[in-house]
A = this chain, B = another copy of it.
Amino acid sequence: MSSTWGTNIELSIFGESHGQAIGIVIGHLPAGIKLDMEDIQKNMKRRAPGQNKMSTPRKETDEVHIMSGVLDGITTGAPLCAMIYNSNQHSKDYSLLKECMRPGHSDYPAYIKYKGFHDVRGGGHFSGRLTAPIVFAGSIARQILRQKGIVIGAHIQSIKDIKDKRFPIHMSHEEMDDLLKQQYPTLNKDIFEKMQTEIEKARMNQDSVGGTIECMVLNVPAGLGNPFFDSIESHLSSLLFSIPAVKSVSFGLGEDITKLYGHQSNDCYYFDEGQVKTKTNHNGGIIGGISNGMPIVLTVGIKPTPSISQTQETINVKTQENVELNITGRHDPCIVPRAVVVVESMVALGILDMMNQ
């Protein structure tokens, strides 16, 4: 399935970057949830572009219009459709992009799959802009989870070679909330300046950089998830890999766990005042596909933004020739900072979907 996801919470996403609107239908939300619109807008703003020179100067208000499923600010239990009208589309000529396939973009595979009928303007349905409705839906999921004591946060783990610290084994809700107050959350608060320098360097070179985001979910009860096909890892990874530009998903130490010995990678249990904990959390709170009560920790890798202004070699599918391509326009030299809240949102939706089972 391309456009729908979920069992207990259902997501159906739609829209194109330069079409009428983008949006999402969220099914099976519980009735009676009072939406905190201020909190939603705060999250929307974390993702929104145009806030500084690290992101595309395109200004989008990203104002969400709720078309159904909410009455007097409270969910009714009926499907919630939220829409964001597209306002700031450039009316520029996109005919070049119908022929010249941008490297690193979905242009060519989409051209084959949709036989040339897809909307190429601004990336169409493949645009990162489609993550705005995800953040909206994720914000609602987070509000529901927070009522159950579950809190989610993420930080920029790396930009190119510049690395932040990893999450500590435990964090309080307050510490997590403090982290998320940073416009660009890093655990080592000084590191973001270096990251910014790296991004700026790329921007000056008409180039781009990528990075990684580490996300932690506090207070997930033990016993969530399943062996095999609906392991927590399977469930969350199917969502995380649907974020454009994500190329890796890992849990706990991720690939680094493969460099340990078994006596190191096994997280030993102990009773801490009657509560079961592990001394380390190399497995990221998940064993056998099921949560063990420790924080769930995961990392996603995001490739450098494919939109760069440098001249690139590619093909023209109409003339069937090798060509050179120059893309002008509004580009993010690095989308990692804006993707932090998107990762948090997807994780929130995935956890909520599993909670209801």
Residues of A within 8 A of B (CB): 1-5, 7-8, 10-16, 19-23, 25, 27-28, 31-32, 65-69, 71, 74-81, 83, 101, 103-106, 108-110, 112-115, 117-119, 124-126, 130, 158, 160-161, 202, 205, 207-212, 222-231, 233-235, 237-239, 241-242, 244, 246-255, 257-271, 274, 276, 278-279, 282-284, 286-293, 299, 301-308, 310, 312-315, 320-322, 356-357
Is the CB–CB distance between A237 and B241 below 8 Å? yes
Is the CB–CB distance between B266 and A104 below 8 Å? yes
Roughly how many angstroms separate A55 CA and B348 CA in the complex, as a whole number? 39
CB distance from A66 to the nearest CB of B (A): 7
Is the CB–CB distance between B266 and A103 below 8 Å? yes
Q: Could you write out 5 A-B pairs with CB less than 8 Å apart?
A: A5-B229, A110-B288, A227-B242, A269-B314, A276-B315
Is the CB–CB distance between A242 and B289 below 8 Å? yes
CB distance from A318 to the nearest CB of B (A): 13
Roughly how many angstroms separate A141 CA and B118 CA in the complex, as a whole number? 19
CB distance from A81 to the nearest CB of B (A): 4
Is the CB–CB distance between A74 and B117 below 8 Å? yes
Extra A-B contacts (5), CB below 8 Å, given A1-B7, A4-B4, A247-B252: A5-B229, A14-B25, A21-B81, A126-B227, A262-B307
The count of identical subunits is: 4
CB distance from A45 to the nearest CB of B (A): 23
Is the CB–CB distance between A222 and B14 below 8 Å? no
Q: Nearest chain-B residue to A286 (Cβ)?
A: B109
Q: Nearest chain-B residue to A270 (Cβ)?
A: B322
Roughly how many angstroms separate A92 CA and B119 CA in the complex, as a whole number? 43
CB distance from A90 to the nearest CB of B (A): 16
Is the CB–CB distance between A254 and B115 below 8 Å? no
Is the CB–CB distance between B12 and A28 below 8 Å? no
CB distance from A261 to the nearest CB of B (A): 5
Roughly how many angstroms separate A270 CA and B316 CA in the complex, as a whole number? 9
**Contact status of A257 and B265, CB under 8 A, knowing A27-B2, A76-B125, A108-B222:** no
CB distance from A233 to the nearest CB of B (A): 4
Roughly how many angstroms separate A303 CA and B1 CA in the complex, as a whole number? 31
Is the CB–CB distance between A288 and B105 below 8 Å? yes
